[in-house]
Each structure stands twice: as C-alpha cells, then as structure tokens.
Structure 1
Amino acid sequence: MNDYLRSLKGRKQKWFGLKLPVKAALAQPYLHPMLRTVAPHINGIKVGRLPAPIGLTEVRGRAGGAGFYLVDPFRCEIAKEFYWGKGRRTEAEDAFALDLMVELSRDADVFLDIGAYTGVFTMAVLAANPAAVAHSFEIIPAVVAGLEKNVVRNHLGDRVSVHPTGVGKPGTTMQVPTGDGGSALPSFYGTGMDFGSGAEVRFTSLDELLPDLPVGNPQVTVKIDVEGAENDVLDDGRELLGTLQPDILCEVLDDRAQPEQLMRILDRFDYHYYLVGPDHLIAHDEIVPDPHFRDWLFTTKNPEDMRVAGYPVR
C-alpha cells in the first residue's frame, strides 16, 4: 500500500518540509503586520491562504445574519479565511455557499454535516436556527478535536453530535493519519487516498442515521464535502433521500466526480441541479463538474419554486 503522505504529491503539499517554518515566520508579530498590509494589494495572491497571526486564538464569523466563533485560525484553514475576510470567507462562491446553506436550513430540524472539517457549516447553521440540531461527521482525529473545540466555544454541546466516522458504505473501514496535520489541519483527505498507518475509522451510511432522527417527518438539510466520495454517501442513503428529500449542498470536484452515477442516484427522487456561483445559482439539466466552482445544490425544488422563495437562480 502506498502512503499518500510519503508520495510526491503529499510531500509537495507540505512544500517538502518548508511549509510549517515559512508559515510560522510569516505569522510572527514582527512580520505579520507587514504581510497584512501588503498582501491584499498584490495581484494573484489569495489572501485566504496566507497565515493568521500565531497568537490569535479565535475569529468571529457571520453568515445569513448570524454570528459564531471558530478557534485556532493559525491551524484551521477555514478560520484563517475568516480572519483575512474580516468575518466572511474570502472567496465569493464559498461565502455564498455558506449563506445559502444557512438560508435553506432556517426551518430545518436536523442538519447533517458530512465531511465537517472543523464545523463552519455546523456553527453557522445552528447559530441562525436555534431550534435545529446537527450530526457532524469527520474522519481525521486531529480535525475532530478542532471540531469539538468549536462546538464547546459556541456552547453547542447539547445540540451537536460529533461522529468520528465516515459516511458511505456501511461496514467499511480505512486508516487515517493520527498526527496533528503539520502546518494546518488537513482539509483534503478522502477515501481515495491510502495511508501506510494510522487509526482505523469505520463508515456508516445515511440510511443508518434514520433511527437517530426525530420521529415523524423531520425537515433535514445536508452538506457533503468528501473529496469525490459523494456517490458512496448518496448511494447508501436512498431510503433517507426518498423519505425526507433533503436539500443537499455537495462539493463536486471536476477531477474526481462521477456525475453519471450521481445523477442515476438523484434522478429517481426528482432532484434538480444548481451550480453554486459567486452570488447566484445556475440551473442545470445535468451535473457537469465545473473547473472553477465546486459546490452544487441538489433539491426537489424547481427553478421557479426557488425564485419564488427568494433564491437568485439563473
């Protein structure tokens, strides 16, 4: 088995060992003020990828009119964006996707955050909807710890169930790294990667979650960010899809997605497809992965229904 962390791609991700010391230097008090002043004026630099100050313990974010906290912006990639974006995600399409999920979840009873990372969607949705509860799934132990810190900081311990498990084919397992992630908590590990050692993580399915949901016909919304494994998530969730027909915000990567299989799963439940742009939704008859925009909304609402509800659809 090849260990991703020792592969050329994995080593490049860490700049062959230079990433942490460079990042730490730029985060120091004597260099960071200059970085913050100069970086926004340099063409081609995405400031959201630059380090936050090393001593900053938390940032306050906002989405859909609600505020929340994210801890440890030096190591959390999403919290770092909120630092540079002054409370908002730095890329327009990411900020819009977060606002969209918050709006879709205004009346939700349950929010399912699959591939939660440190929980920005969980924190934002529950901040805006005080009646909702969340089930948040994350497979990397160091990231799970960051997610749990955010749950505590936002006083959501009685409303969030943190699951250190994957969602996909029930009964399967994979090994995941147990280290601290190096210069940042990893946000890109997925089931398509092999690791030579680590903790064994088990997988459950969407359908296995049904007994844990409120009785009756609860309103459920779902966010999926699983680095190309969304087909497995939805394929073993057909009962939940057919019964509850949740609105789903799903990352669809153009280099990993299998849209034909994904549509075969969703078409039987009469889902419509919308690409999430920088400030609007683009209705599509088919899922066509886009090289620039990653997120898609899958919903049973047609474009006219979405417009009437106040969503910007083109």
Structure 2
Amino acid sequence: MQHTFSIKTFFKKIIPYIWGYAYLCELIKYLFSNFLPFKWYMRLPIKPGKLINANFSFGTVILSSPERCSIAKKLYWTEGIIFPEEDRIALEYFVKLTKISDFVLDIGSNSGIFSLASGLANKNVKVFAYDILPEAFHILVDNIFINNLSAQITPNLIGIGKKSLYKAPFEKITSEMPTSIKLDENFKNVVSVNVEIKTLDEIFLENNITGQACIKIDVEGFEGDIFKNALDVLKNNKPFFLCEVLNTNLEVSDYDNILSSNNYKKFLITDSGLIEYKNIKAHEKFKDWFFIPNEKLDEVKSFLKVG
C-alpha cells in the first residue's frame, strides 16, 4: 500500500512540473478523448497554473487551480463543457432562476462555479457563497477576482445548517482538493480552524435578504439540518432551491415533510429534463432536485422543461 501511495504521490507532485507535460496532456486530449474512457484520462493531473474555461449558453467563466480543483480539472478534459447532461441542465436552469432573483446563496460553494455563473448571468444579483473548507475558500476567492465579480459575490468561510462549530482542516488533506466534506468528518493529526455553522434563518436576517432568493445546496447529506433551521425563511421568503439528495441520506422524509408543509413542489433533474414527484425519492443515478414554491410555479414553468 505504501509503495502504491508513493508512486501516486510522485506522479501527481513531480510529473506535472516536467517540461513538456502540458503539451502531452493536450496531445492526449486531442488524440484519445474520443477513444479512451472519460474516467481514465480525467484522472491524469493537470499542469499547475492553468486557467480553465467553463462554458455556458450565456457566456464563460474562468476557473483556477485545476491541479487542486477537480471541477476545473474535469472541465479541462471536456473542453469547458459541463458533463454529464443532468449537471449541465441543473446549472443552466439554476441560472435561469437567478435571472428572476435578487439574491443567490451558494451553500457548499467549493470553488464557486454556481456563484460565478450566477454573477455572470445577472449583473444585478447579489451572491453569497458559503463553504467550510479553507482550501476551497481560497480558490473561490481567486476565482471571484479572476472573473471580476468581487462587487457581486461575497465569499464566506461559514457553514449553513444547525448552529455549531466545525473544526475544518486548514492544510491539504488529500492529493486533490475534495469536492466537499461532511460536517461529521474528523481529521486527525492536521492543523484545523474553527468554522462557524449558522442557520439559514440567521443568514437571511444578518444579510437583510428580503427579495426573491435562489439557493443551491450541496452539503453531502446534511441538507436536513438546513431545512429544519430555516422555518422562517421557508414560510416568509419562499426561495427557489437546487438541492443535492444522496441515496445514503436517511433523513430525506423529515425535510420532505417540511417542504410539503410549506407548499413546495419537487422536481428531480434528469438528463432529459425535470420530473415532478409528490415526495422526494433518492435516485441511484440522478441526485439533484429543484424545490419550487407552488405559488411561483407558473412563473418558472415557462423556462423549466418539466416531463
């Protein structure tokens, strides 16, 4: 095991810095992307320092640090195309909702692709991005400035859920930055910092969020804590939600009932559009859902393709 780890570490930390490696990656992408399995070549490390385009129907944003950020790394190999299709649909539809919103909250923002896309598409929207991983926060800040969106996007090293403190790893914990970490994960023998976890009700009050809000939630199964501590927001503000629902989450029925009691409709995002369900059911393949207030459904159905 130690031998395998050493080879992997050598490859990721040494090989990308060798002269000509960037040209080799471009050659692999050009010659073999149509023949090799995608999951094979996307495992290859990227030469540090490259800036990666993420292309949308409404424009392009730039992501930094593909050597650490798996989102930027994946987009390097796909030539900036969001993949798979259900992920592209989720992001494009989310941005359509931000165009009729005053505020965007990106909860579990990671390197900020949803925040950046929202700021690009709607120059009047105010974006608040939240993550509990310091490394992700630093990359997020870089991406905000690279895309000239510092006037619109406010980055926060804060978690949203049940009020508490989380000891977040301050140093690199893996060879590649995790796309997310769980609030119940413990990292031993690493330098950590205290990250505050606030409730969504608190966040709305502190930031005076009174207009239409559009919220993305990607918190690795802890979304129940967000909804349970957002009863005032659900009742009075009626935001749009894009939420990741994992099939390992055993508390789905709890927040499903909370959403139903606040008159929300639920739509699973598939690779061919949206499917409405009365109740949230974790899907083996598709993980993202839209939760839309019933009274606002007519307003958004014109641009959300519902099957």
TM-score, normalised with respect to structure 1? 0.87
Please name the residue that 1:179 is paired with. Answer: 171
Match of 1:206 among 181, 197, 200: 200
Equivalent runs, 1:266-277 vs 2, <5 Å:
266-277=259-270
Contact 1:118 1:150 in 2 (8 A): yes
Structure 1 residues 307 and 284, CA gap change in structure 2 (3 angstroms): same
Structure 1 residues 30 and 87, CA gap change in structure 2 (3 angstroms): closer
Q: Distance in 1 between matches of 2:201 and 2:296?
A: 28
Pair 1:193 & 2:185 matched: yes
After superposition, give the CA deviation of every residue in 1:172-193 in whole Å (9 maximum; x if it has no partner): 1121211134422211311132
% identical aligned pairs? 26
Structure 1 residues 40 and 137, CA gap change in structure 2 (3 angstroms): same
Equivalent runs, 1:196-275 vs 2, <5 Å:
196=188, 197=190, 198-214=192-208, 217-275=210-268
Q: Distance in 2 between matches of 1:96 and 1:255?
A: 23
Q: Distance in 2 between matches of 1:263 and 1:248?
A: 13
Pair 1:108 & 2:97 matched: no
SS at match of 2:95: helix
Q: Distance in 1 between matches of 2:300 and 2:150?
A: 36
Long gaps (5+) in structure 1: 1-10
Query: Over the residues paired in the alignment, what is the CA RMSD in angstroms?
Result: 2.5
Counterpart of 2:68 in structure 1: which amino acid? Answer: R
Q: Distance in 1 between matches of 2:228 and 2:142?
A: 32
How big is the shift at 1:51?
3.7
After superposition, give the CA deviation of every residue in 1:200-248 in whole Å (9 maximum; x if it has no partner): 2110110001223446x40100000000000001111111111111110
Q: Distance in 2 between matches of 1:50 and 1:99?
A: 26
Counterpart of 1:305 in structure 2: which amino acid? Answer: D
Contact 2:96 2:303 in 1 (8 A): no
Counterpart of 2:187 in structure 1: which amino acid? Answer: F
Structure 1 residues 199 and 289, CA gap change in structure 2 (3 angstroms): same
Q: Distance in 1 between matches of 2:265 and 2:54?
A: 30
Counterpart of 1:169 in structure 2: which amino acid? Answer: K
TM-score, normalised with respect to structure 2? 0.89
Contact 1:26 1:35 in 2 (8 A): no
How many residues get paired?
300
How big is the shift at 1:92?
1.2
Match of 1:123 among 116, 121, 127: 116
SS at match of 1:201: strand
Q: Distance in 1 between matches of 2:249 and 2:5?
A: 25
